[in-house]
Structure 1
Amino acid sequence: MYVHNYIKQKPKLDDIATYYHKAMNENVIIKHFVKNKINILKKHRQTLDLGINQISDISGAANSLKELTNLNNLNLYNNQISNIDQLSKLTNLKTLDLSHNKISDISALKELTNLQMLGLGNNKISNVSVFKNLTNLRELILLDNPISNDDIQALKNALPRCEINEIRVKKPNIYLYPEKTEELSVQVIPQGRITKSIPEYNGGWKVTVDPNGKIDNAYDFLFYEASINYKFTLDKGWIVNKGNFNEEMNSILTSIGLNYKEKSDFIEYWSKELNWKTSKYAVYYLDPKEINEAIKLNLSKEPDSILRAYFYFVPIKDNQNLEIKKPEIKEFKRNGFTVVEWGGIGK
């Protein structure tokens, strides 16, 4: 069941339900709320998605939630929840997303030993001792909580098979434009790990590049993806609309200095990658200094001109009035050996 309706009041979860459901389906897509009760849900329901609303209290739904004995996936992302005691009975949960709430006490989670993925980013959590009991965890998101680096490291030692606090950097493309055909070595060093690459990374790329950017007579760019541990500053950027994404993003990329090919590649990828949870997204432009800290880029020959353009995409609630200061963009001039890289992170 999926419910994204941006409720303007702050309802309790037991006041939330649907005007429609398909009794024979395990997972139902719902687009509206009416005055029913959550206890109309069938006991065999496996997925319940109540993300991106303004739910503040789940205490009244305790009995109804407890009846969902087959519930494996629960999404309460981006609400106003502070107390999660009632979730302690959902012992079959494998995926739970509580990111972007107001949670400080997570002791109720110690009973959820079947959890494999747990999202708790952007809350008020400081005590992480409960996680050491959740040995089935494979992914744990704790970004933007007041947790010390020592505690994070202790968790990593206690849960060696679990990815903790990793941001997925998607599809960075590195374009190389030497003045003449050259053999170049390129190395990417993230604060984390590389998860994908084309061509195969193997600790670094050694490639032959033509002035038109063609790499080894086969590739237009070097591609990789990475999972990193880094907290970026999100304070400057733009707001883009679903219906005008291509046009608005093209204007942004032009101002930054990408050429036609680079812009086309970016827009083709991100227009499909964003799942458009809402009709607008904040597009934060990441500080190049932070990019260089989070993902170092080493080349065997120093570029005369280099541009590393990274963006962080965050959905904006339809009832949210968000103003973002636009970044000051310096003109990018392509002189001599030029390197251009773009990449993104999506919530």
Structure 2
Amino acid sequence: MGIINWNSIFYTLFNFYNLINNHLAVLPTGINKLSELRVLDLEDNRLTKLPINIGNLTQLKYLNLSDNELTTLPEDVGNFTQLQELYLSENQLVTLPESICKLTRLQVLDLSFNQLIVLPENIGDLSLLKDIELGNNQLTSLPDSIESLKMIGRLDLSNNCLTTLPKGLSKLPQLRELVLISNPIKSKELRKIQHWLPDCEVVF
């Protein structure tokens, strides 16, 4: 009878990891071996970056990195192709990797309270998104591909630097709430946006 590798079994079966509020500056060694991990909650730590091999967690469905000190994300976040919810609020992100657009099963994306200036051009590839939180950033424009987010129900753009929005927003049939509070959008432009979206509550 062979020796049982309990370490291997642990890594295979472990699918939930909660490390909320642990003052972590780096992730625990071996976390990349949790190949069956479905839920990873790292909210309220001190993470400044993620390890490159974080992309090995290909079965993740829920990832919470809110309230950390992240300035960038590694390209291999694009490996999280099963991910449905991604929370990145209250970090220091200025840009996002293009690979984030590979997360085509994503339904919730929270990027609020960062320092984002632009969004990836292919953000529209996230066609299953229902809720995207972009409030309290430094966005000056939105990519035209946003018109492909046909499932989006709520779009929060409050406290940014937007002066205009793409007309493609009128092609979002499920959009019911558009939050534009504290943007330098002129009244004429706001009226135009309301005309584009007669069935949507535009909050400004």
Q: TM-score w.r.t. structure 2 length?
A: 0.63
TM-aligned CA distance change 1:56 to 1:133, over 3 Å: same
SS of 1:110's partner is: helix
Q: Is the 8 A contact 1:89 1:111 kept in 2?
A: yes
**1:101 correspondence with 2:107:** no
Amino acid at match of 2:102: E
Residue pair 2:55, 2:76 contacting (<8 A) in 1 also: no
Match of 1:152 among 190, 194, 199: 190
CA distance in 1, matches of 2:112, 2:75: 18
CA deviation profile, 1:57-81 (whole Å, cap 9, x unmatched) = 21xx212x23312011111001011
What is aligned with 1:74? 109
The one of 34, 47, 51 aligned to 2:85: 47
> Size of the alignment, in residue pairs?
159
In structure 1, the partner of 2:22 is: none
State how far apart, in whole Å, the 1-side matches of 2:158 and 2:134 are.
Answer: 8
Would the aligned equivalents of 1:20 and 1:30 in 2 still touch at CA under 8 Å? no
Deviations 1:276-308 (A, max 9, x none): xxxxxxxxxxxxxxxxxxxxxxxxxxxxxxxxx
Q: TM-score scaled by structure 1?
A: 0.39
Structure 1 equivalent of residue 165 of structure 2: 128
Q: 1:116 aligns with which of 147, 150, 153?
A: 153
TM-fit CA distance, 1:99:
0.8
**What secondary structure sits across from 2:170 in the alignment?**
helix
- Equivalents in 1 of 2:115, 2:163: separation in Å? 18
Unaligned residue ranges in structure 1 (runs of 5+): 166-228, 230-347
Normalized per residue, which structure has more strand? Answer: 1
- Percent identity, aligned pairs only, is 22
What secondary structure is seen at the aligned counterpart in 2 of 1:151?
A: helix
Counterpart residue number, 1:142: 180
| Preserved CA contact (<8 Å) 1:82 1:104 | yes
Structure 2 residue runs of 5 or longer lacking an equivalent are: 1-39
Residue 159 to residue 30, structure 1, CA distance change in 2 (3 Å): closer
Instruction: Give the C-alpha shift of residue 145 in structure 1.
Output: 0.4
Contact 2:65 2:88 in 1 (8 A): no
Question: Does the CA-based 8 Å contact 1:7-1:53 persist in structure 2?
Answer: no
CA change 1:77–1:148 in 2 (3 A) is same
Q: Which residue of 1 aligns with 2:4?
A: none
Asked whether the 8 Å contact 2:170–2:197 carries over to 1, the reply is yes
**Partner Cα distance (2:80, 2:47) in 1:** 27
Counterpart position of 2:62:
27
SS at the partner of 1:105?
Answer: coil
Relative to structure 1, the CA distance from residue 160 to residue 42 in structure 2 (aligned partners, 3 Å threshold; closer, same or farther) is same
Cα distance change of structure 1 residues 75 and 18 upon mapping to structure 2, 3 Å threshold: farther
Q: Distance in 2 between matches of 1:121 and 1:53?
A: 17
User: 1:37, CA displacement in angstroms?
Assistant: 3.9
Matches within 5 A, 1:3-14: 4-5=43-44
Greater shift after overlay, 85-94 or 97-106? 85-94
CA RMSD of aligned residues (A): 3.5
